[in-house]
Amino acid sequence: MHFSIPETESRSGDSGGSAYVAYNIHVNGVLHCRVRYSQLLGLHEQLRKEYGANVLPAFPPKKLFSLTPAEVEQRREQLEKYMQAVRQDPLLGSSETFNSFLRRAQQETQQVPTEEVSLEVLLSNGQKVLVNVLTSDQTEDVLEAVATKLDLPDDLIGYFSLFLVREKEDGAFSFVRKLQEFELPYVSVTSLRSQEYKIVLRKSYWDSAYDDDVMENRVGLNLLYAQTVSDIERGWILVTKEQHRQLKSLQEKVSKKEFLRLAQTLRHYGYLRFDACVADFPEKDCPVVVSAGNSELSLQLRLPGQQLREGSFRVTRMRCWRVTSSVPLPSGGTSSPSRGRGEVRLELAFEYLMSKDRLQWVTITSPQAIMMSICLQSMVDELMVKKSGGNIRKMLRRRVGGALRRSDSQQAVKSPPLLESPDANRESVVKLSSKLSAVSLRGIGSPGTDASASDVHGNFAFEGIGDEDL
């Protein structure tokens, strides 16, 4: 989750008091809350009491006199780094002290009184679920309210999550982010002041082997079935004519378990698809459609004069990744202070093991870059729990001091700071043929056609490359 403090505001004190500087904290580019330095200092002191000074990042010191504009900017940068460091720390970022501070600040900033309201949550197929919640209810409270309304057992709640989405004109969902423990879902969705933003319930795991746990329950089975049917109708899951015929037959028989068993064998089952964007693979400014699932990022692309192709990047072969933000320069090469924040460009860059001795950066430019990064991290979390022989059910519902605790697997990803720029000296683009041979590529039939085995182009030399080799 990307925290930033892109700006400050001079605000008048209460009851005509002296003016003060307010810091606007943004999450994924959207205003979350507005706080004073003294409030952040209070948070820092509380965290220091609970966890000790050695655990905490440096906090900008107090000043005896009024700050100059340059000092205000310097403090803003220091506070931004502080908030990012706390959030990325597995212990501090999951603490109830940190998360409750952000929830209170969000509610105060948006000036939403605590009261009971009716909140609409959508299922993957568009079905509406209305739940009565408090405006001050956190994400887990709302998730439990939805589960209660659907009669989903407590031990299955952790298999699902709430997502903030934007409903496009054609009715498709564009995923903005997974709702987190530091926010209030009602405030998050209503503060955007647009009817196109919705909250959607969707499964939160990646490995289809865990479907068995969910399918044992009638409600869980129905939720998985509705999500899968919806994903097929959207074209997220790749289906041949024959497979579509078989699925249709099972659907008519209302054979939900058999339907899901067949769907599990299909390419992109359980994947999350993102909006069309641009990547520098296999060549610069290549239009792609990115999907995340099954421990990989999939890039669908159409090369000049060729059919639709797919490149697969396994999570276990990514040495690290990072999200960067930048403001593109105008053609004259100089920046303008009047440029709006809406023009900020987000990039996900990951260093990929193309061969035993060759790492290469791949960059995806997309407004959903942070959501992609979150998907990568959650896939790593899941892989590491499985590798250590742990239980995903415990991982999904593990609580520490009232807050969901991040897995120690965060240490498995050597991720540099979020705002670090990709290496300008990274390897130059090699010729197209060699780039394509280094990644698992599949041919994808056009809609309504079948894909045959001869369309598959795999680099089997990489089959043995996994976490142990990185």
Q: What percent of the chain has pLDDT over 90?
A: 54
Judged against a pLDDT cut of 70, whether residue 423 lies above it is answered with no
β-bridge partners, 286: 279
What is the arithmetic mean of pLDDT over 224-239?
A: 95
The tokens describing 6, both together, are 């892109």
What is the arithmetic mean of pLDDT over 353-362?
A: 90
pLDDT grade for 8, boundaries at 50, 70 and 90: low
Q: Which amino acid is at 205?
A: Y
What is the arithmetic mean of pLDDT over 407-434?
A: 33
| 313 vs 410, higher pLDDT | 313
Query: Of the spans 13-17, 163-167, 304-308, 379-383, which averages the highest pLDDT?
Result: 163-167
Cα–Cα–Cα angle for 112, 123, 264, rounded to 5 degrees: 140
> β-pairing, 308-314 with 296-302?
antiparallel
Judged against a pLDDT cut of 70, whether residue 36 lies above it is answered with yes
pLDDT at position 84, please?
87
Cβ neighbour number for residue 222 with a 10 Å cutoff: 15
* Spatial separation of the C-alpha atoms in residues 156 and 451, rounded to whole Å: 36
pLDDT at position 288, please?
95
| 455 vs 154, higher pLDDT | 154
What is the arithmetic mean of pLDDT over 334-361?
A: 73
pLDDT at position 435, please?
35
pLDDT at position 309, please?
87
The tokens describing 457, both together, are 């182009």
pLDDT at position 337, please?
39
The tokens describing 297, both together, are 């990022």
* Spatial separation of the C-alpha atoms in residues 86 and 1, rounded to whole Å: 12
- Burial (Cβ within 10 Å: 0-12, 13-18, ≥19) of residue 336: exposed
pLDDT at position 345, please?
83
3-state SS assignment for residue 447: coil
Cα–Cα–Cα angle for 259, 261, 267, rounded to 5 degrees: 100
What is the arithmetic mean of pLDDT over 401-430?
A: 34
pLDDT at position 399, please?
40
| Least confidently predicted of 314-318, 325-329, 394-398 | 394-398
Those residues with Cβ within 8 angstroms of residue 469's Cβ, 6 or more apart along the chain or in another chain:
353, 356
pLDDT at position 164, please?
95
Q: State the chain's mean pLDDT as an integer.
A: 79
pLDDT grade for 39, boundaries at 50, 70 and 90: very high
β-bridge partners, 8: 23
The tokens describing 143, both together, are 């998730």
Instruction: Report which of 340, 328, 315 is spatially closest to residue 278, judged by C-alpha positions.
Output: 328
Measured between alpha carbons, how far is residue 398 from residues 24, 42, 338 in Å? 32, 28, 46
- Gyration radius of the chain over CA positions: 23
Those residues with Cβ within 8 angstroms of residue 110's Cβ, 6 or more apart along the chain or in another chain:
187, 190, 191
What is the arithmetic mean of pLDDT over 122-150?
A: 96
What is the arithmetic mean of pLDDT over 136-148?
A: 96
| Contact indicator for 392, 382 with CB cutoff of 8 Å | yes
Q: How many CA atoms lie within 13 A of 300 on its CB side?
A: 20
What is the arithmetic mean of pLDDT over 77-96?
A: 90
| Contact indicator for 10, 32 with CB cutoff of 8 Å | no
CA 184 to chain centre: 17
**Sign of the C-alpha dihedral computed for residues 55, 3, 382 and 201 taken in this order:** positive
* Spatial separation of the C-alpha atoms in residues 192 and 31, rounded to whole Å: 9
| Contact indicator for 324, 422 with CB cutoff of 8 Å | yes
Say if residue 282 is preceded by a cis peptide, omega within 30 of 0.
yes
Q: How many CA atoms lie within 13 A of 178 on its CB side?
A: 21
pLDDT at position 69, please?
86
What is the arithmetic mean of pLDDT over 111-118?
A: 96
How many helices (H) does the chain have, and how many strands (E)? 12, 20
Instruction: Report which of 383, 382, 376 is spatially closest to residue 466, judged by C-alpha positions.
Output: 383
Q: Which residue has the tokens 């603490």?
A: 95
Judged against a pLDDT cut of 70, whether residue 101 lies above it is answered with yes
| Contact indicator for 324, 312 with CB cutoff of 8 Å | no
pLDDT at position 6, please?
58
* Tens of pLDDT, residues 172-206: 889 999 999 999 999 999 999 899 999 999 999 99
Judged against a pLDDT cut of 50, whether residue 293 lies above it is answered with yes
State the DSSP H helix or E strand holding residue 72, giving kind and residue range, or none if neither: helix 69-88
pLDDT at position 29, please?
72
pLDDT at position 468, please?
45
pLDDT at position 397, please?
52
Cα–Cα–Cα angle for 210, 379, 173, rounded to 5 degrees: 85
* Tens of pLDDT, residues 369-382: 989 998 998 898 88
Q: What percent of the chain has pLDDT over 70?
A: 74
